[in-house]
């Protein structure tokens, strides 16, 4: 076995045996995506069941028959607590202390108004005890119950009016003369899904993706920094450098070992991601019924391949950067705090891209963001979703150029003696001493 | 007998600080040479220059006639260097470590196996070689590292404080290991230490170094008689007062 392969082999062996690395780079993306999917599903289900099991209260000030019919209708469709009270004030106090989440209030005059062909008032109070989504949705449910009633009541009115005036026509059509529907055009294909459904899907992804990229890169950086710092702390790097093996061979071997792990990371990232997109599509039930990939929205094999490549060059650059920085430190802790600085250019684009689109930003901010290589990784994931492959290719190009520069710097650093003599902790200490004297 | 190490007016500065201020000494082939001095004297700096890790600011250092700067690769082939406070890869086991390191010297299978076997024997770690380095005591780690340094049969072995941080018993074992191997194989060693008794026990000849200069050189007996001291420790105190 040559020196290079033997260093690579040793490096992989070490990294694979480190449980932190196995977890962070390989298992985490595999686990996290399905967990995120599950998490969303579980919380949606929780909201749904708590809406279904929600209790409503009814307080009616109107003793008329028409009001009674509404009360009966709501009662047959839900668990309902009828509040007996002398006034609305009183009813609200009782409602506040009850375990029901919405109060349907029918004021006096409701029956009268409707009999006279006017609008009858109904008011719904939501009881926001915990300020959660389920509570708010429950009052919506109460509202839609009333709306359903409203609709059928109106239909029956129209029907009787039609009969009375001996005219023909469909009560449904008269009630809603216009049938409105939406469709979207994506890359020249007409797809029978509303634009808002598609954008909400993409928005949800564009929040998840930057976070995921950020986490992967942070883990890779920590992995490489820890590994090189351990070599310095344990003086194994110093030992290696007295062996009959070139310094660039040592650097290349170390880097290749980390890259192999990073490839495993990229693959598990892609698997996790494809799992996530497939389950994310199932969150929007109306959308699944349509073949989205036919419209070019889902990620095609080409997109996955390019995404994997983006993740790969991103990780290589991050690893080379981490190695170049960590080599100046003399302990794992100082290496981790020094490479921690690298998290800043990751967090900034992640935060901005999570909440807005790059095209929406002012020109100067766009340029600043685009100068950061990791921005391109995040943009590429969204581009893959939309099938804009040339954007991904551009990203790969830019990150690759950046990577080459970093590798060149790393090679320079490895061929000087500074790799042995520089001591990050001492360096800062000495500077401080100089300033104070 | 030839010269193993020849150092002439060696200087090294770190920034504005001069760590070596013109060091001169020679090590003969097949002798154990001790470099002794207090913390910060310049021992590690000298050994690192010999080990091709750092370059001198000026002066010359040769290992078996090869210049450590111009001919660094030739030096690396014949030299074994044990850094101060060194460790081994914690996720490898002892056997894997020896095999990994042997791979840089032995390029065919039988030579490799022979080298690894030599490492096993020198370490005296037996079955514990199959455990991860992480689980080793300091003493075991040091024995593994010294075995690694010696198994390649280097022409020159540089050991920077081989017993530092070890307790009395472990230090005794490690010293025994080094002396035993040296006696058997007749090798050349350059050992640094600030333990004067250790050096007196191990070394044929010593150099006292202080603040980047050699203040005395000779066999332990010569140095002791020169300063009229009962041991090297006392001689060192005398020498620094004179210097
Ligand atoms: N990389 C470096 N940067 C700055 N100064 C250094 C560096 N390495 C060594 N020195 C300084 O050079 C001097 C000699 O250091 P050296 O490590 O050679 O001493 P030593 O004799 O090995 O001491 P010890 O017994 O503590 O190991 C010390 O004052 C040290 O602070
Ligand atoms: Mg030292």
The string of DSSP letters for A115-175 reads: HTTSPPP-EEEE--SS--HHHHHHHHHHHHHHHHHHHHHHHHHHHHHHHHHT----HHHHH
**DSSP assignment of A13-57, as one string?**
HHHHH-HHHIIIIIIHHHHHHHHHHHHHHHHHHHHHHHHHT--EE
Among the listed ranges A260-264, B13-17, B202-206, B207-211, which one has the minimum average pLDDT value?
A: A260-264
The CA distance from B100 to the nearest CA of chain A, in Å, is 7
By DSSP bridging, strand B156-160 and strand B79-82 are parallel
Q: pLDDT at position A279, please? A: 63
For residue range A59-75, what is the model confidence (pLDDT) as tens digits?
999 988 888 888 888 88
| Cα of B41 from ligand 1 centre, angstroms | 7
Q: pLDDT at position A206, please? A: 65
Check which CATH number belongs to the domain holding B228 and give it: 3.40.50.300
Number of domains in chain B: 1
Pocket of ligand 1 (CB under 6 A): A 421, 423; B 14, 17, 19, 37, 39-45, 84, 194
For A271-305, b/e burial (b = at least 16 CB within 10 A) is: ebbbbbbebbbeebeebeeeebeebebbbeeebbe
Q: Is the pLDDT of residue A215 over 90?
A: no
Q: Is the pLDDT of residue A166 over 80?
A: yes
For residue range A411-423, what is the model confidence (pLDDT) as tens digits?
888 888 888 887 6
The span from the CA of B211 to the CA of B215, in Å, is 9
Q: Which of B14, B52, B103 lies nearest to residue A6, judging by beta carbons?
A: B103
Q: Is the pLDDT of residue A189 over 80?
A: no
Among the listed ranges A176-190, A207-221, B120-134, which one has the minimum average pLDDT value?
A: A207-221
Q: Which B residues in the span 33-72 are in contact with A, Cβ-Cβ below 8 Å?
A: 48, 51-55
DSSP code at position A356: S
Question: What is the distance between the terminal CA atoms of chain B, rounded to a whole angstrom?
Answer: 32
Residue A286: band (very low, low, confident or very high) from pLDDT cuts 50, 70, 90: very low
Q: Is B17 part of the contact surface with chain A (CB cutoff 8 Å)? A: no
A245 to B88: CB separation less than 8 angstroms, yes or no: no
Task: Report chain A residues whose CB lies below 8 A from the CB of B77.
Answer: 244
Q: pLDDT at position B240, please? A: 82
Q: Which of B79, B87, B96 lies nearest to residue A235, judging by beta carbons?
A: B87
Q: pLDDT at position A242, please? A: 94
* Substitution target from B12, B50, B54, B190 for chain A, most A beta carbons within 10 A: B54
Task: Tell me the pTM.
Answer: 0.77
- In chain B, the percentage of residues whose pLDDT exceeds 70 is 99
List residues, by chain if needed, whose CB lies under 5 Å from ion ligand 2: B 43-44, 84
Q: pLDDT at position B12, please? A: 96
Q: Is the pLDDT of residue A13 over 80?
A: yes
In 3D space, the residue among A287, A327, A355 whose CA is nearest the CA of residue A414 turns out to be A327
Summary mean pLDDT of chain B: 92
Average pLDDT over residues B110-131: 95
The span from the CA of A279 to the CA of A189, in Å, is 23
Q: Which of A236, A245, A420 lies nearest to residue B54, judging by beta carbons?
A: A420
Cβ burial, residue B162 (10 Å; 0-12/13-18/19+):
buried
Across A311-325, B39-53, B191-205, which has the greatest mean pLDDT? B39-53
Q: pLDDT at position A297, please? A: 58
Q: Is the pLDDT of residue A204 over 60?
A: yes
| Cα of B84 from ligand 2 centre, angstroms | 6
Between residues A183 and B190, the one the model is more confident about: B190
**DSSP assignment of A302-337, as one string?**
HHHHHHHHHHHHHHHHHHHHHHHHHTT-SSHHHHHH
Average pLDDT over residues B134-160: 95
Q: Nearest residue CA, atom 9 of ligand 1?
A: B45
Beta bridge partners of B28: B3
Residue A292: band (very low, low, confident or very high) from pLDDT cuts 50, 70, 90: low
Q: Which B residues in the span 172-201 are in contact with A, Cβ-Cβ below 8 Å?
A: none
Question: Please, are residues A223 and A25 in contact by the beta-carbon 8 Å criterion?
Answer: yes
Domain that holds residue B106: 3-239
Q: Is the pLDDT of residue B243 over 70?
A: no
Between residues B141 and A330, the one the model is more confident about: B141
Q: Is the pLDDT of residue A190 over 70?
A: yes
The CA distance from B208 to the nearest CA of chain A, in Å, is 24
Q: Is the pLDDT of residue A427 over 70?
A: no
Q: Long-range pairs for B16-25 at CB < 8 Å and ≥24 separation?
A: B18/B212, B19/B45, B19/B212, B20/B45, B20/B46, B20/B49, B20/B56, B20/B59, B20/B212, B21/B211, B21/B212, B21/B213, B22/B59, B22/B212, B22/B213, B23/B59, B23/B209, B23/B212, B23/B213, B23/B214, B24/B214, B25/B207, B25/B214, B25/B217
CATH number, domain A53-167, options 1.20.120.1200, 3.40.1280.10, 3.40.50.720, 3.40.1710.10: 3.40.1710.10
Q: Where are the domains of chain A?
A: 3-42+197-283+293-427, 53-167
Q: pLDDT at position A425, please? A: 56
Q: pLDDT at position A222, please? A: 85
Query: Residues near B111 by Cβ (< 8 Å), separated by ≥ 6?
Result: none
Between residues A44 and B97, the one the model is more confident about: B97
Average pLDDT over residues A168-195: 83
Average pLDDT over residues A121-133: 85
Q: pLDDT at position A371, please? A: 92
Q: pLDDT at position B77, please? A: 94
Q: Is the pLDDT of residue A38 over 50?
A: yes
- In chain A, the percentage of residues whose pLDDT exceeds 90 is 17
The span from the CA of A6 to the CA of A8, in Å, is 5
Q: pLDDT at position A39, please? A: 76
Q: pLDDT at position B154, please? A: 94
ipTM of the shown complex? 0.93
Q: Is the pLDDT of residue A298 over 70?
A: no
Average pLDDT over residues A136-159: 84
Residue A341: band (very low, low, confident or very high) from pLDDT cuts 50, 70, 90: confident
- In chain A, the percentage of residues whose pLDDT exceeds 70 is 89
Query: Residues near B230 by Cβ (< 8 Å), separated by ≥ 6?
Result: B224
């Amino acid at each position: 076995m040559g020196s290079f392969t033997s260093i690579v082999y040793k490096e992989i062996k070490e990294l694979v045996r480190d449980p932190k690395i196995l977890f962070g780079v390989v298992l985490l993306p595999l686990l996290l995506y399905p967990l995120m999917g599950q998490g969303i599903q579980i919380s949606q289900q929780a909201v749904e069941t708590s809406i279904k099991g929600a209790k409503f209260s009814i307080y009616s000030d109107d003793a008329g028959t028409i009001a009674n019919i509404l009360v009966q209708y709501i009662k047959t469709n839900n668990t309902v607590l009828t509040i007996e009270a002398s006034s609305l004030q009183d009813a609200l106090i009782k409602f506040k202390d009850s375990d029901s989440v919405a109060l349907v209030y029918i004021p006096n005059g409701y029956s009268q108004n409707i009999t006279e062909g006017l609008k009858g008032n109904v008011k719904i109070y939501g009881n926001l005890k915990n300020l959660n989504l389920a509570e708010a949705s429950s009052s919506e449910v109460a509202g839609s119950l009333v709306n359903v009633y409203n609709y059928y009541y109106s239909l029956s009115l129209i029907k009787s009016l039609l009969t009375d005036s001996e005219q023909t026509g469909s009560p449904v059509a008269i009630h809603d003369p216009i049938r409105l529907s939406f469709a979207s055009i994506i890359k020249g294909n007409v797809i029978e899904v509303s634009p808002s459904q598609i954008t909400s899907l993409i928005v949800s992804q564009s929040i998840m993706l930057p976070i995921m990229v950020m986490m992967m890169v942070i883990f890779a950086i920590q992995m490489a920094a820890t590994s090189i710092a351990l070599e310095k702390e344990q003086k194994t790097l110093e030992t290696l450098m007295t062996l009959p093996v070139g310094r660039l061979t040592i650097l290349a071997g170390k880097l290749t070992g980390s890259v192999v792990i990073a490839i495993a990371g990229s693959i598990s990232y892609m698997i996790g991601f494809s799992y996530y997109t497939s389950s994310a599509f199932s969150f929007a039930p109306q959308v699944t019924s349509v073949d989205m990939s036919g419209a070019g929205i889902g990620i095609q094999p080409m997109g996955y391949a390019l995404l994997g490549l983006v993740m790969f060059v991103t990780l290589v650059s991050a690893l080379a950067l981490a190695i170049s920085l960590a080599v100046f430190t003399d302990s794992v802790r100082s290496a981790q705090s020094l490479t921690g600085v690298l998290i800043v250019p990751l967090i900034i684009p992640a935060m901005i891209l999570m909440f807005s689109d790059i095209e929406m930003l002012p020109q100067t901010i766009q340029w600043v963001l685009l100068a950061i290589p990791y921005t391109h990784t995040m943009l590429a994931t969204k581009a893959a979703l939309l099938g804009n492959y040339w954007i991904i290719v551009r990203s790969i190009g830019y990150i690759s150029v950046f990577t080459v520069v970093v590798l060149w710097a790393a090679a320079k650093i490895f061929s000087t003696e500074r790799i042995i003599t520089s001591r990050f902790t001492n360096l800062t200490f000495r500077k401080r001493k100089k300033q104070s004297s | 007998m030839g010269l193993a190490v020849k150092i002439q007016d060696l200087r090294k500065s770190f920034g504005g600080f001069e760590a070596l201020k013109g060091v001169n000494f020679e090590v003969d082939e097949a002798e154990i040479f001790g470099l002794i001095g207090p913390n910060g004297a310049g021992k590690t700096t000298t050994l690192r220059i010999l080990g091709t890790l750092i370059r001198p600011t000026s002066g010359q250092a040769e290992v078996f006639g090869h210049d450590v700067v111009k001919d660094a690769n030739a030096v690396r082939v014949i030299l074994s260097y044990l850094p101060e406070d060194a460790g081994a890869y914690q996720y490898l086991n002892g056997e894997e470590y020896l095999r990994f390191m042997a791979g840089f010297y032995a390029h065919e299978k039988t030579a490799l196996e022979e080298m690894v076997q030599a490492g096993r024997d020198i370490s005296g770690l037996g079955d514990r070689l199959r455990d991860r380095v992480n689980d080793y005591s300091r003493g075991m780690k040091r024995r593994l590292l010294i075995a690694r340094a010696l198994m390649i049969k280097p022409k020159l072995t540089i050991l920077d404080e081989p017993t530092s941080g070890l307790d009395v018993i472990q230090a005794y074992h490690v010293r025994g290991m080094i002396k035993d191997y040296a006696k058997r194989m007749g090798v050349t060693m350059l050992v640094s230490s600030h333990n004067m008794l250790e050096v007196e026990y191990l070394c044929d000849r010593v150099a006292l170094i202080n603040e980047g200069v050699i203040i005395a050189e000779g066999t332990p007996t010569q140095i002791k008689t020169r300063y009229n001291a009962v041991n090297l420790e006392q001689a060192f105190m005398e020498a620094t007062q004179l210097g």
